[in-house]
Amino acid sequence: MMLFLYSEHLFNKTKFEEFNELMSWDNNRFYKLIKEGWIHKWRTKKGNQAALYELTYKAKRMINNVYAKLNGEDFPENPVNNPVFKHDVKYRDKVYRAYMKKINNEDRL
């Protein structure tokens, strides 16, 4: 859903619902994405003009990161840029960290 919305730039709720039908059923998805800060209102409804929405900076940044990884960009190994590389993380993050390092090393070969 987020990748489609990213390509749309501005969209109305009708356009959102059109593509929401392709996904598993969730009546509250639109409002949940607004509440969680992934979508915000770009223009309020005025007369015959529908309200328009767009992805937030947070959503656009996340999608850009996904595209970068798909294009082969390395995972950052700096704790400032990637929290799983901090020394006080949980075991799960250490497993992710090890796999990220493995992917980075394979890409460099």
Is residue 93 very low, low, confident or very high in pLDDT (cuts 50, 70, 90)?
very high
Please tell me the total count of domains within the chain. 2
Q: What is the dihedral of CA 80, 86, 90, 93, to 10 degrees?
A: 60
Inside any domain, residue 78: yes
Residues 56 and 100 in one domain: no
pLDDT, residue 72, reads 83
21 lies in a domain? yes
Query: Above 90 in pLDDT, residue 109?
Result: no
2 touches 63 (CB < 8 A): yes
Give yes or no: residues 55 and 92 share one domain: no
Amino acid code (one letter) for 34? I
Give the structural domain span for 13: 2-60
pLDDT in tens, 29-77: 999 999 999 999 999 999 999 999 999 999 999 999 899 888 888 899 9
Q: What is the pTM of this model?
A: 0.75
